[in-house]
Amino acid sequence: MINCQLITSLAEARPHSHLLARHACAQLPETALINEMRAQTGVADTRFGCAPFARITLLPEALWQDSLTDGLVTALRPLFAAPVSESLVIDLCDIHDTVLGQLLRFLFNQAHNLSDLQLKKTDGSAVRIRHIAALCLPEQRERLASIIEQQQAVANGMIAARRLADTPSDRCTPQYVVDEAQTLCAAFPALRCEVLDEQQIVGQGLGLLHAVGKGATCPPRLLAIHYDGISDGPVRCYVGKGITFDTGGLWLKEGAGMYTMKYDMCGAANVLGLMLTVAELNLPVRIMGVLALAENAIGPDAMQPGTVARACNGLAVEINNTDAEGRLVLADAIAWASQRHPQAHYIIDMATLTGAVVKALGYELSGLMTQNETLREQLTRAGIRSGDEVWSLPLDARLKKQTESTIADLCNTPTNNAAISASAAWLLHHFCPPMIPWAHLDISGTALWREGGRSVASGRPIPLLVEHLLADIEL
């Protein structure tokens, strides 16, 4: 946990802190060192002659206003690979609101790194950020205090999701996710967990989730997390794909494509993180988060290409590709959520669903597919405000032929290998009744942070969803 305080003068900062400021920060001392650093056009950084600070980093004014390219965090990231002080002083006197949120989340997310999983020997001497002093003007204190509290709760949810997603899949089984979620939710009286085991999954007719999970030695689970911040009112539903490892099933992936497949449960992990954030913020709302958990494995009982399975809403799906399993578990979970709350305010699902969305949008934008224009507009605006942006892809009846089957109501993948991301969403829309607003987020590009050929969980799109939820509550 990183604690944060607001200060209005650098004299209040702890000695030997790392000072991060704009070139034009008015509170910087007028010294030869500062003047020399200000003369540089890019990032100026020093650990020498900067007493009483351990390190001073000055960054160009443009980065503090760059809400499009995440430039400030990108510039700071290498500086935090090996921090020199447990304390930071950060200049927030003049910063764009979106950049402020991105910066605070980045800083609070420093509370978790891969070494915390205790799978790698470390000497324990590495410096960790433990205290942040936010430099502001006196008139900014009240507003910034509220923003900091909110963004720290968002970051805490992101960290919970990241820690779970980063855990290797031999440990992070469907039951492990359930156990971790129950432990984390127990800290908040407003959260309660409901679990369906493999027998109950079959008993309640979730044939698609069963089909995906039945080939694994670790059986599937459906976890519903209920949050009652108020006693009555519409329920907002979030559904997450939780494939704890994806071999592709009998449609086997190649080795290189399998390496990051422990992260195929990021959608479910992010639903958990979102629920924890909402509970920490004590928001006046009712929410249900549904985690569809399974391992897509190879074994004697694994689903076969050509299998027809039936979802809990009665629709039969021809499984013509066992590596398109995510949309199957999502479909059942969406249908199940709509049956539990037939008057839901909305259902939003999220999944690392298709590599095609990465080819279309890259790693910075999540794909948004919906037929509800209100949800589309609200999520797009929330993405811009939070800096966790989405981009809409088409979703209409022109995709109908992509899911047609001669033997079942639907097939799970298009045989022409076209419009893969939108075709998956077209399949999913059949499982949410038309009277419930529904949106699908394909987070294959954004759920991971990629750097130097390595990938770790990012915690996105929790910032987007919190921003959207806060705005929706205020309507």
**Residue (of 46, 37, 38, 40) closest to 18 by Cα position:** 46
Active site residue 454: no
Handedness of CA 144, 147, 152, 155 (dihedral sign): negative
Dist CA 318 CA 308 (whole Å): 4
* Closest listed residue to residue 244, CA positions, set 168, 335, 183: 168
Residue type for 118, please?
A: Q
C-alpha 167/C-alpha 299 separation (Å) is: 23
Residue 400, token pair as written in the block: 């109908």
Are 293 and 328 in contact, with CB atoms under 8 Å apart?
no
Q: Please list, residue by residue across 438-462, b when 16 or more beta carbons sit within 10 angstroms of its beta carbon and e when fewer do.
A: bbbbbbbbbbbbeeeeebbbbbbbb
Q: Find how far residue 68's CA is from the centre of its chain.
A: 19
* Residue given tokens 């929706």 in the structure block: 472
DSSP letters, 153-192, are: HHHHHHHHHHHHHHS-TTT--HHHHHHHHHHHHTT-TTEE
Q: What radius of gyration do the chain's Cα atoms show? A: 23
Given the residues 327, 376, 385, 460, select the one marked as catalytic.
Answer: 327
Q: Which of 14, 130, 192, 253 is catalytic?
A: 253
Give CA torsion, residues 352, 353, 357, 358, to 10 deg: 40
Give the containing element (helix H, strand E) for 7. strand 3-7
Q: Is 22 a catalytic residue?
A: no
Percentage helix, strand, coil for the chain under 3-state DSSP, each rounded to 5? 40, 20, 40
Give the Cα separation of 337 and 341 in Å (integer): 6
261, 284 in Cβ contact below 8 A? no
CA angle centred on 132, ends 129 and 138, rounded to 5° = 175
Q: Return the closest-CA partner of residue 409 out of 464, 335, 359.
A: 335
For residue 107, give every residue at least 6 positions away whose Cβ sits within 8 Å of its Cβ, in sequence order, or none.
2, 88, 90, 129, 132
Find tokens 């987007």 and name the residue: 464
List active site positions: 253, 327
